Amino acid sequence: MTKVDASVTGHSAESTPIVVAESLGRWYGEVIGLGDLSVTIPRGVTGLVGPNGAGKSTFMKLMVGELRPGRGTLTVLGFAPFANQALYRRLGFAPQQDALYDHMTGRAFVRDLVRLAGYSKHEADDRAVRALGRLELTAAMDRPCGGYSKGMRQRVRIAQAIAHDPELLIADEPLTGLDPLARHVVIELLRGLAREGTSVIVSSHVLHELEALTDRMVLIHRGRLLAQGAVREVRKLLSRHPSKLHITAREPRRLARALVALEHVESVRLHSEGLLDVETRDLAAFQAEFAALAARERAGVRSLESGDASLEAVFDYLVN
């Protein structure tokens, strides 16, 4: 297998990036899964984000060796990942697709996959039990997967990815479909792995979920790198665009008149059933002033939601 020599690149083993892609591409017939991606990902926790069809899942499958690049080069932990069995033992992959066998128990499913990494049946079982425990599935691990909820099945997929203590965990949308309690369990697990020295690359559509894990993001759009850096830097890219908020209130007209008077509010649109769409140039100022304003106007605010919470909105701003 081909390994990149750290001495040639001028990096020590500790500072060598975990992933390096140069002009990376992959096609599915005439469909472009990844166009021309060049990116370097350091050790630690990195959020991989982008709208549907951006190429995130294709990039992850290339990183774990499920796919061969159609063009360009890719190294993971210094190695070319495709058909590299030695590298597989150092990687953990939690795919988005549900591939559990309903007749198997969660414990047996994880144990049998761990055995493929070369562990004895006894050690594989110990590792499966420990991994499922970290995902709070101990009580259910000896039940058939066919009786698991969607969130439990998601956590089993994560358990099999961490049971062999990988150096790098790659998780494709691990928080999708989880209830708040399960989401907390998974976030705390990923934080714990990071503290233990495991590097993590995790994809998500929801910005605040990534901010709970890391301040570092890689943004992909149409198979190319759109932006990379700290979340706060990405937010700066949006500074020239107004932030959008949706508010429902008992007295929407009264609230709308007060909001229009704020210097940083660009527009207020009133809809039926007490719904207001608000655009502000200064979200921080809006958040600082809104509670007092709503109380003073006795508007009876029922809900306040950000229209920019989804990363789809972020990408709309960046590519238009």
Alpha carbon distance 27, 24 (integer Å): 11
Cα-Cα end-to-end distance for the chain: 43
- Domain termination residue (choose one: 215, 236, 257): 236
* Residue 147 shares a structural domain with residue 283: no
Instruction: Scan for tokens 């709503």, then name that residue.
Output: 294
**What are the DSSP calls for 27-69, one per residue?**
EETTEEEEEEEEEEE-SSEEEEE--TTSSHHHHHHHHTTSS--
Alpha carbon distance 287, 7 (integer Å): 50
* Residue 154 shares a structural domain with residue 201: yes
Quote the number of domains for the chain.
2
Q: What is the pLDDT, as a whole number, of residue 16?
A: 79
* Residue numbers of the domain that contains 265: 242-319
Q: What is the pLDDT, as a whole number, of residue 12?
A: 40
- Domain termination residue (choose one: 208, 236, 264): 236
Tokens of 293: 């304003």
User: What value, to the nearest 5°, has the Cα angle with vertex 42 and ends 74 and 165?
Assistant: 85
In terms of residues, how long is the chain?
320
Order of strands, sheet of 275-280, starting from the edge strand that comes earlier in the sequence = 265-270, 275-280, 243-249, 301-306
Q: From residue 233, how far is each of 40, 95, 219, 238, 310 by CA, in Å?
A: 17, 29, 12, 9, 17
Q: What is the pLDDT, as a whole number, of residue 148?
A: 96
* Residue 170 shares a structural domain with residue 315: no
Q: What is the pLDDT, as a whole number, of residue 11?
A: 38
Instruction: Scan for tokens 């590097």, then name that residue.
Output: 199
Q: What is the pLDDT, as a whole number, of residue 313?
A: 54
Q: Are 209 and 174 in contact (CB under 8 A)?
A: no
Q: Are 69 and 62 in contact (CB under 8 A)?
A: yes
* Residue 223 shares a structural domain with residue 252: no
Q: What is the pLDDT, as a whole number, of residue 181?
A: 86
Residue 119 maps to a domain: yes
* Residue 260 shares a structural domain with residue 221: no
Tokens of 317: 């701003």
Residue 256 maps to a domain: yes
Q: What is the pLDDT, as a whole number, of residue 10?
A: 34
* Residue 231 shares a structural domain with residue 247: no
What is the full per-residue pLDDT of the chain (320 aa) written as tens digits? Answer: 333 333 333 334 446 799 999 999 999 887 888 889 999 999 999 999 887 788 999 999 999 999 999 999 999 999 999 999 889 889 999 998 888 999 999 999 999 999 988 899 999 999 999 999 999 999 999 999 999 999 999 999 999 999 999 999 999 999 887 888 888 899 999 999 999 999 999 998 666 677 778 889 898 888 889 888 887 676 666 555 677 889 999 999 999 999 999 999 999 999 988 899 999 888 778 988 998 999 999 999 988 887 654 454 555 555 55
**What are the DSSP calls for the chain, one per residue?**
--B--HHHHT--TTTS-SEEEEEEEEEETTEEEEEEEEEEE-SSEEEEE--TTSSHHHHHHHHTTSS--SEEEEEETTB--TT-HHHHTTEEEE-SS----TTSBHHHHHHHHHHTTT--HHHHHHHHHHHHHHTT-GGGTTSBGGG--HHHHHHHHHHHHHTT--SEEEESSTTTT--HHHHHHHHHHHHHHHHTT-EEEEE-SBHHHHHTT-SEEEEEETTEEEEEEEHHHHHHHTTTS-EEEEEEESSHHHHHHHHHTSTTEEEEEE-GGGEEEEEES-HHHHHHHHHHHHHHHT--EEEEEETTSBHHHHHHHHH-
* Residue 291 shares a structural domain with residue 158: no
Alpha carbon distance 183, 151 (integer Å): 9
CATH code for the domain in which residue 196 is found: 3.40.50.300
* Residue 232 shares a structural domain with residue 288: no
CATH code for the domain in which residue 309 is found: 3.30.70.100
* Residue 217 shares a structural domain with residue 256: no
Q: Are 286 and 245 in contact (CB under 8 A)?
A: yes
- Domain termination residue (choose one: 236, 253, 279): 236
